[in-house]
Structure formats: C-alpha cells, structure tokens
Amino acid sequence: MSSRLNIIAIAAFAVALVGVMVFAASPHNRLRLQAGFLDVITPFLKSGSELQRKYLAYRQGLKTLEQLEKEVDQLRVSNKELSATNQTLRGLEAENNRLRGALGYHERSVFQLMPAQIIGRNASTWYNTVTIDRGSDELVEPEMPVITEEGLVGKTTVVNKHSSIVVLISDETCRVAASVEGSREQGIVHGERTSSGVMPEISLNFLSKQANLQTNQKVFTSGVGGVFPPGVLIGAVRQFKMRELDGFATIVPAVDLTTLQDVFVVVSNTK
C-alpha cells in the first residue's frame, strides 16, 4: 500500500513538473510564473530585510553604548585630574598669599627680622617647642623673640650653627610680661601644664581682682624684662576670672600654633 502511494506521489510530481515546464515554455506564462513566485516569497524577503535592519540597529546601539561608557570613563578621569589640579592651584595660591603677607610684614616691621622655617616638631611636645632652620651662623642667639605677622610665637632657647629650638608661648616655661589694651592692667602670660598632645590653656596672671577684663580685649607684650619688645600682639581675652588673691584671664593666642610654617626671629629691636 505504501509503495503504491509513493508511486502515485512521484507520478503526480512528474505531471506537475511537466505542466510547469509546458506552462513556462511560453514567455508570457514564464513572466506570470515569476510574478507568482515573487508574490509568494516577497513577505519572506520583507521579513528578512526587517530582521536585518533590526539586527544592524541593535549592533549600532551596542556600539553607541560602548562609546558612551568609554566617554563616561574618560570624563571621570578628566574630572579627577581637574579636581587634583584645582586643589594644587588652591594650595599654591594660599602659599603665595601667605608668603606675600610674610614679605609685607618683613618690609613694614620696625624690627630687624631673620626669616625662618619650621623644620622639626615632635608630637609629644607639639605645643611646647619647634625647631627652625636658623642658628648662630645666621645671627640667632638664645632668648630672642620669635614672631609672625599675626603676633608672638615664643623665643629661642637652644641655638646650634644652623638650627634653633623655639619654646612656644603655650609652654609653661615661656613667661611673657604683658599689658592689656585699654587698661592699666599688667601681668605674666604663660601656658598651663597639660597631658601630651593637648593644647594647653594660655593665661594672663597676676591681674587685680578689679580688672574686669572684657572678651576680645587685646593683650600685648609690655617690654618688661627685656626679652620681648613692647607692642607685639599676644592674643585676646577669652574670659576673666577672680581667684582668692588676684584675677586672671584665659587668652586666645593671635597665632595659630598648630599650623606654624614660617616665622621671624627678632635679631634686633631696631632696623
């Protein structure tokens, strides 16, 4: 039964093929046959073309996305470089302004000054001493005042050929005779003993109990004792208090002792 069906199918295909060949023998019929064939395959051609277009668009989209990611990465790097450059320029500008200020003070000062830089600072004595890059070969001697354009820093102690140790006004051993702006009050400024690494409190002692100093009154060197010349700003009054026998005031130093970089040694009280 299966063989008979196969024979019949082959015979039908042969008849159809002969019919097509006979039909296509005429040019007119051949054109009609080609047109019909095109009608049959056109939807498939259109579908293939649409798929190809979508595939190309997808590839282009992937390429564009990769380009965008690369551009974003490049922008991130450029932004970091610009930020670093900006920070450097700000640092240079601050350094330039600081040096200009120091130079201006050096020119205006009534003292003979020796500029110096901080080259050493011990964490355990941060608020007690610093080391500067000037010594006896640069005319520095012990017991010379050390200042900045803002005010008093301290005084030299141990002096070597090209370096010196400076004891700061926040140290308890650095005692400075002082007077208070707008009053007749005089006393001694010095730091208080504290644990290592803690900013000592600086106080003005031996005031009268009636001094009644006000916040922000300025405190200057008085010149008594001969080490510090008169008129150098030490700081400003934070608070006045009374004790049993006298009065005293806590002082906010004029110079930020935590960020010292450049100082001047007063090698002579006159130019």
Domain locations in the chain as residue ranges? 1-108, 112-268
Which residue(s) pair with 181 in the sheet?
Answer: none
| 53-77 pLDDT, tens digit each | 666 665 666 557 667 777 777 777 6
* C-alpha to C-alpha distance for 208 and 241, rounded to whole angstroms: 10
| 99-153 pLDDT, tens digit each | 556 556 555 556 788 999 999 998 888 999 999 999 999 999 999 999 998 999 9
Contact 111, 149 (CB under 8 A): no
Write down the pTM of the prediction: 0.63
Dihedral angle over CA of 101, 177, 196, 240, nearest 10: -100
Band (32; pLDDT cuts 50, 70, 90): low
User: What DSSP string runs through 25-66?
Assistant: HSHHHHHHHHHHHHHHHHHHHHHHHHHHHHHHHHHHHHHHHH
| 207-248 pLDDT, tens digit each | 999 998 999 999 999 989 889 988 999 999 999 999 888 999
Position 208: which residue type? S
112-268 carries CATH number 2.40.10.340:
yes
* C-alpha to C-alpha distance for 119 and 99, rounded to whole angstroms: 17
